[in-house]
Structure 1
Amino acid sequence: MADKPTSVDAYLADQPPAERAVLQQIRATIHRAVPDTGEKISYAIPAATIDGRVFIFFAGWKAHVSVYPVPEGDAAFEKTIEPYNSGRGTLKFPLGEPIPYDLIAQVAVRLAERARNS
């Protein structure tokens, strides 16, 4: 079993090239959408933080990348995330298909707002 990564950079370095490229773009998308966020490894996957508290996770898998958790939203937002919502608080984005980075940015903003208000 591989050692658990100790940083987001280490996690990304361990990913196959295709997954790594997508995850690096997700990472950049989150930081652009929610400036001044930190990051760390939590539950052995990358997480973005606000004031040290995790508000969003992302991870690479064999056939997809995931973003966690799924924020609540209005009917239009729910319809937009529906194709990616795999239940259990996970959005799955299949590798080999276009990744909706704008949607991931919206998810990050919603989760950040929730974190700041809790």
Structure 2
Amino acid sequence: MAAAKPVTIDEYIAAFPAEVQGALQEIRNTIRQTAPEAEETISYEMPTFNLNGSYLIYFAGWKKHVALYPVTERIFETLSAELAGYKGSKSSVHFPLNKPMPLDLVKKITELRIAENHLAVAK
């Protein structure tokens, strides 16, 4: 029988080994502090923060990294020097679990996503 899909971010984080839980909680806390008005939910089976009725940012735990989504083209351009040391996909950045989580960078990405969210709402 498959494990139940998480309904809350607490359930999502609890499903990981202790060392991964710490990294996930650090990222969650940083996003929560940066976007206190955002609502926590689970979307696409990932922890998600919604703002103004649309998604703001997702994060997900993997075997060797924590991924943050979306990292838009504008964010990549704005933070290119800081993101250069990290792998990722077209719209994500991967933070390796064997290094401290770059919480300042998570905060900057969240701040830029908030700005993008507000621009989208204004249109």
Normalised by the length of structure 1, the TM-score is: 0.91
Structure 2 gaps, min length 5: none
| CA–CA distance in structure 2, aligned partners of residues 52 and 14 of structure 1 | 28
**How big is the alpha-carbon RMSD for the aligned residues of Structure 1 and Structure 2?**
1.5
Normalised by the length of structure 2, the TM-score is: 0.88
Matches within 5 A, 1:57-72: 57-71=58-72, 72=74
Alignment size in residue pairs? 118
Off by >2 Å, runs of 4+ in structure 1: 73-76
Q: Does residue 24 of structure 1 match 2:25?
A: yes
Q: Which residue of 2 aligns with 1:10?
A: 11
Distance 1:113 1:52, change over 3 A: same
Shift of 1:105: 0.4
Structure 1 gaps, min length 5: none
Distance 1:115 1:85, change over 3 A: farther
CA contact (8 A) 2:75 2:109 kept: no
**Matched residue SS, 2:110:** helix
Distance 1:110 1:6, change over 3 A: same
Identical amino acids, percent of aligned pairs:
33
